[in-house]
Chain A
């Protein structure tokens, strides 16, 4: 079983719709959860992080965390073609002063104009 699993996609949604990206993790001791966006050929860009159960909203993005179910999701409202990218879920276990991230394999999102 992979440590961090994401819905494999690819996922296509029409412009203006809500895109829902899901991630499950196996390590119950995980403390922090991140969503990165990666455009083709580019490096990942941090878009959201969440530490506590519940929802966290930032503009059109909402991260949801349920530690009991070991589940984290990202909702993108009013999806735009510029949101088309691969979204990587990452889970952190802290080690001293450095945080080790374990990444899922990503979900490719295409927003259709």
Chain B
């Protein structure tokens, strides 16, 4: 089955820890994206990547880092510099500038 997978579904982080969220797609999409959603809010763009080994900051990149070593994978690291990381994290992909399709999301909670 083609699609976007994210893992884990739920993640708990202690203060001062870095954590990495996984996003994989087998749709052969060029572009991949990371969004953050807070309760009752829309999605805000963290980072996006158009091709392998290239990525750009979105609107709220501070405290986050990404890599794009393979076309299929776009992991997001939430660093200790992100002061309020508790949120629902969504990964998406698209063929170039076409419509974006979302993975199931990872819910991150800081303990």
Contact = CB atoms under 8 A, between A and B. Distances in A.
A105 B104 contact: no
A95 B94 CA distance: 13
B79 to A, nearest CB: 23
Interface residues of A, number: 23
B99 A106 contact: no
A100 B42 contact: no
B41 A43 contact: no
Interface residues of B, number: 28
Interface stretch (A13-21, A44-52, A68-76): A44-52
Contact of A105 (B41, B101, B105): B41
Contact of B45 (A34, A101, A105): A101
B34 interface: no
Interface of B: 30-31, 33, 35, 40-45, 48-51, 56, 58, 90, 94, 96-105
29 contacts: A4-B42, A43-B103, A43-B104, A44-B90, A46-B101, A49-B99, A88-B43, A90-B42, A95-B56, A97-B31, A97-B50, A97-B96, A98-B30, A98-B33, A98-B56, A99-B31, A99-B94, A99-B97, A99-B100, A100-B45, A100-B58, A101-B100, A102-B45, A103-B35, A103-B44, A105-B40, A105-B41, A105-B42, A106-B42
